[in-house]
Structure 1
Amino acid sequence: MPRLTTGLLLHGEYQGGGFTRPRYLARRGDGQVVQLTLLLHLVAESIDGVRDTGDIAHRVSDRYGREVSADNVDHLIERKLRPMGITAPPDGDGHPVDAPRSDLLLALAGRRVLLRERQVARVARSLAWLHHPWVVAVVLTAAVALDVWLFALHGAMGPVLQVLDRPVLLLAVFGLTVVSLLFHEFGHASACHYGGARPGPIGCGLYVLWPSLYTDVTDVYRIGRAGRLRTDLGGVYFNVVFILGLAGGYALTGRPLFLAAVLVAHVEIVEQLMPVVRLDGYFILGDLAGVPDLFGKIRPTLLSMLPGRPVRPEVADLKRSARAVVTGWVLTMVPLLAAELGYVLWHLPRILSTAVRSLSAQAGDTLTAFSDGEFAAGAVGVIGAFTLLCPLVGGAYLAARTVARLLRRILARPAPRRRAHAASHRPKPTAPHAPAEQRPDPVRTLRRSS
């Protein structure tokens, strides 16, 4: 009897999608989320470990509106669902065998869980009231009033200059910034809970060049677009809430470090809203367009723009509005990343030599500060050395992954003559005729934030 893999969840239709045909989502036990067509979703939905292919075919035919035979079901299970990790092998233990996994170059690496799902759910439940529309309106109104006072009347740079002269205050601002980053993640988790989805764990890892926090809120794919956008914006919204808390700290104490932390929080918000890499702005834009994986549309979009080339199915399956958003994003993002990468590579020797000299000087100053008993200045030096070291380590790791991916592709590609010979002698598989359906693109695993 056909059976689903262990831990598989069928989320149903991807609501508010930018596709011309409905897409259905399934989450495997390993956390990977894949897209299914209606036919594949109906087949998977009918598999319960008790029905045979004949019963499944009868059930699917009634719901699909077209005749689907037992041979069709067997073909779809063997050729479609099992390779995607949806159905288990007949002689296996219920886990997918050789199921494809997303291998993203710009992905979070070295993930470590900081707070488990049960702990996150408890905190998210207690903070969900902050997403009530009336509360949001009050928070945003207060934030606008605060920004007018800080930037137009009081001045934002004065507190920053006062903090820069005192290492103890710098440490305090750094500590507040770390707390705001964690509070940011609870914004995503609580918004996820408020929308009716289940937030996962909060953890940390290395993203591109820097350490980063993330929240697993993949469950929001099963709710509507409004819930997904609320989850996307939840982190930045909680940054705003945290800013108001910092303003309250300044009102009570008059200490400038709180206003300096407010300015740092504003910089974090602007960074998060950039849609270039997988920060909050990337997911906001993707959910506005109804396309869950913008990076997966780069290659087909560029190939479809070449003269004489047909439009790729991945692009043709998008609605006109979604295609316009994706095309605009690709035409903006690809030149921007290419120019930035070219600049870094062109100046790489100078960047490395400057970083090494700065790191050496920073280490010397830090040791001197500790030896003189200036522990606050020494701690600031450690943080500075860490910020200098992270891009070097992250860049080396990213370069190693890039080279490894290129080598895997080269080694996995057969020689042209061998490939032609194999193709000419490969028998064509005979399979029962099944209703036509398109192969969907994969959806990436985590909706993360930094």
Structure 2
Amino acid sequence: MQSFNAFEPGLLIPQLSADVEFYPFDSNTYLVKHGLLGHQLRVSKAIMQVLELVDGERPIQTIATQMSVQLKSAVSSQLVFDMLYKGRLSQCGIVLSEQTVASKKADAYIWAKIILLKAHQIDKLCDWLAPLFRPKFFYALFMLLLVYLLTLILSQSIDIAKFAHWKFGPSMALYFYGIFILSTLLHEIGHAAACRHFNVRHGHIGLGMYLLAPVFFADVSDAWRVSKYKRLVIDLAGIFMELLFYSLISVVYFCIDNQLVLQLILLRLIGTTANLNPFLRFDGYWALCDLTNEPNLRTKSNALFQQTLTWLFSSTKSPLKTTRDYLMVTYASVSWFVIIFFIASSLLYNSGAIMYAPHHLVRLIERIIQNWDTITITSIWQSITQLLLPLLFYYMLIRLLTPLVIRFWKRLQHRKLHYMRTRY
């Protein structure tokens, strides 16, 4: 790569990475992805026009001249230089520069990852399942399975009170966690199989930690190359596979007439429904990202929400111009309201549980180890609820304070730098 110090901006010959891929995203933007490092950017038509002129031979001055002709407006060499080298294009390795670019950490919100199934190990299964995700057939069967399971549960007399006192012994644990592991694995395989149907590369399936709890995950980041309606099928494919799995399990109920089967299906359906939560990075969040055509919905909505607050309390210009802007601000507002309300109500009504959460965690572990055969679903649930809310409180508090701390630290560093410059 040529040194920036050796040339004037107009004489520099830019080069794109050999691993760059381009996809149309919508009518106004494109997706630019670094296939090796995993970085991807959403760029405008104008930036895409510039990138199409970068061939490793044209200097920036020539690119600026040709852009001026295409846009019928003067484009300076400095503007093209800044566009290529002073933004995300060089930071993500799309345009080669002097800086070292690290690989993107896929699903950075999931930590302590362990790969369970390599992509090639599930290719044949995905090929077999792929026909299920033809959109018309997929949505029809999705609704049919959902209606069938709800009808089955509502038509049967499920004695929840009786189920709550089942002994949580080895056999009960085997049933519950066996269904849980199979359904969640099928959930992730569903995402991968849907990718396969739309000719999109899928990655590995693994296990990691999210919100202090273990979760399965599938790498389907390449799905952004297809239309939002196809991405929506990929988003819902995991829930679809769970519904299909529960429907097959229900056949066991009719064969052995054991209500425990229905009770376990009901518990798992509750967990499946939780996946539609749009405020956490579950399937519901990604579906909302696709419906709004915004890959970074949380970041963009929070930024727009901050601009709106600035507008409301100062004389700046309103950032809300389209219906989509209002929807994104509403999403961010509700999200922050839920966080602040939960933190405030927890401090007001549940301060004791927050303070003694570490003690309750130790007690729960001791009870599981020492009294395994006598533990009931009720006692386990009570212990979990004692811990779940305090741990969720700490998570939301950290999420609320982290941006404020980072902003304060940056301002402190800026003032320190300003002081050093004025002093010396």
Asked if the contact 1:163/1:257 (under 8 Å) is kept, the reply is no
**Residue 108 of structure 1 corresponds to which residue in structure 2?**
110
Alpha-carbon separation, structure 1, partners of 2:277 and 2:376: 33
Asked if the contact 2:342/2:393 (under 8 Å) is kept, the reply is no
Asked if the contact 1:365/1:381 (under 8 Å) is kept, the reply is no
Alpha-carbon separation, structure 1, partners of 2:317 and 2:159: 51
**Residue 45 of structure 1 corresponds to which residue in structure 2?**
52
**Residue 438 of structure 1 corresponds to which residue in structure 2?**
none
Distance 1:258 1:366, change over 3 A: same
Shift of 1:25: 1.9
**Residue 217 of structure 1 corresponds to which residue in structure 2?**
220
Question: Where do 5+ consecutive residues of structure 2 fail to align?
Answer: 1-12
Distance 1:144 1:70, change over 3 A: same
1:86 correspondence with 2:94: yes
Distance 1:88 1:143, change over 3 A: same
- RMSD value, Cα: 4.1
Alpha-carbon separation, structure 1, partners of 2:41 and 2:85: 17
**Residue 410 of structure 2 corresponds to which residue in structure 1?**
412
**Residue 443 of structure 1 corresponds to which residue in structure 2?**
none
Shift of 1:172: 0.9
Alpha-carbon separation, structure 1, partners of 2:66 and 2:248: 56
Q: Which amino acid aligns with 1:35?
A: R
1:27 correspondence with 2:29: no
Alpha-carbon separation, structure 2, partners of 1:357 and 1:420: 47
Shift of 1:247: 0.9
Partner of residue 26 from structure 2, selected from 11, 15, 31: 15
1:304 correspondence with 2:308: yes
Name the TM-score, length of structure 2 as normaliser.
Answer: 0.78
Partner of residue 4 from structure 1, selected from 2, 9, 16: 16
Deviations 1:221-259 (A, max 9, x none): 121111111111112212211111211222333333321
Partner of residue 74 from structure 1, selected from 55, 78, 81: 81
**Residue 344 of structure 2 corresponds to which residue in structure 1?**
342
Shift of 1:335: 1.0
**Residue 96 of structure 1 corresponds to which residue in structure 2?**
101
Distance 1:78 1:166, change over 3 A: closer
**Residue 208 of structure 1 corresponds to which residue in structure 2?**
211
Q: Which amino acid aligns with 2:342?
A: E
1:285 correspondence with 2:283: no
Deviations 1:168-216 (A, max 9, x none): 1243112201221121112222222223322222223222232222222
1:265 correspondence with 2:268: yes
Partner of residue 297 from structure 2, selected from 294, 298, 313: 294
1:199 correspondence with 2:202: yes
Alpha-carbon separation, structure 1, partners of 2:163 and 2:107: 44
Alpha-carbon separation, structure 1, partners of 2:121 and 2:71: 41
Alpha-carbon separation, structure 2, partners of 1:303 and 1:350: 37
Distance 1:347 1:58, change over 3 A: same
1:120-269 to 2 correspondences below 5 Å: 120-132=122-134, 133-134=136-137, 136-151=139-154, 153-157=155-159, 161=163, 164-165=166-167, 167=169, 168-269=171-272
Distance 1:36 1:241, change over 3 A: same
Which 10-residue stretch deviates more, 192-201 or 112-121? 112-121
Shift of 1:419: 6.1
1:52-67 to 2 correspondences below 5 Å: 52-53=59-60, 56-57=63-64
2:22 match: secondary structure: strand
Deviations 1:373-424 (A, max 9, x none): x5x9699999998997788778768877877766554443346766667999
Alpha-carbon separation, structure 2, partners of 1:100 and 1:116: 19
Shift of 1:271: 0.6
Asked if the contact 1:3/1:87 (under 8 Å) is kept, the reply is yes
1:89 match: secondary structure: coil
Alpha-carbon separation, structure 2, partners of 1:112 and 1:360: 26
1:128 match: secondary structure: helix
Q: Which has the higher contact order (CA 8 A, sep 6+)?
A: 1
Alpha-carbon separation, structure 1, partners of 2:151 and 2:265: 13
Asked if the contact 1:304/1:310 (under 8 Å) is kept, the reply is no
1:366 match: secondary structure: helix
Shift of 1:6: 5.9
**Residue 441 of structure 1 corresponds to which residue in structure 2?**
none
Asked if the contact 1:10/1:25 (under 8 Å) is kept, the reply is yes
Asked if the contact 1:156/1:263 (under 8 Å) is kept, the reply is no
Deviations 1:113-140 (A, max 9, x none): 3323333444332211121333542453
Which 10-residue stretch deviates more, 64-73 or 264-273? 64-73
Distance 1:403 1:303, change over 3 A: closer
Asked if the contact 2:190/2:241 (under 8 Å) is kept, the reply is yes
Alpha-carbon separation, structure 1, partners of 2:230 and 2:79: 36
Which 10-residue stretch deviates more, 49-58 or 249-258? 49-58
Distance 1:126 1:65, change over 3 A: farther
**Residue 118 of structure 1 corresponds to which residue in structure 2?**
120
**Residue 437 of structure 1 corresponds to which residue in structure 2?**
none
Asked if the contact 1:124/1:186 (under 8 Å) is kept, the reply is yes
Shift of 1:339: 0.6
**Residue 330 of structure 1 corresponds to which residue in structure 2?**
332
Alpha-carbon separation, structure 1, partners of 2:29 and 2:185: 33
Distance 1:340 1:245, change over 3 A: same
Structure holding more helix per residue: 2
Which 10-residue stretch deviates more, 325-334 or 351-360? 351-360
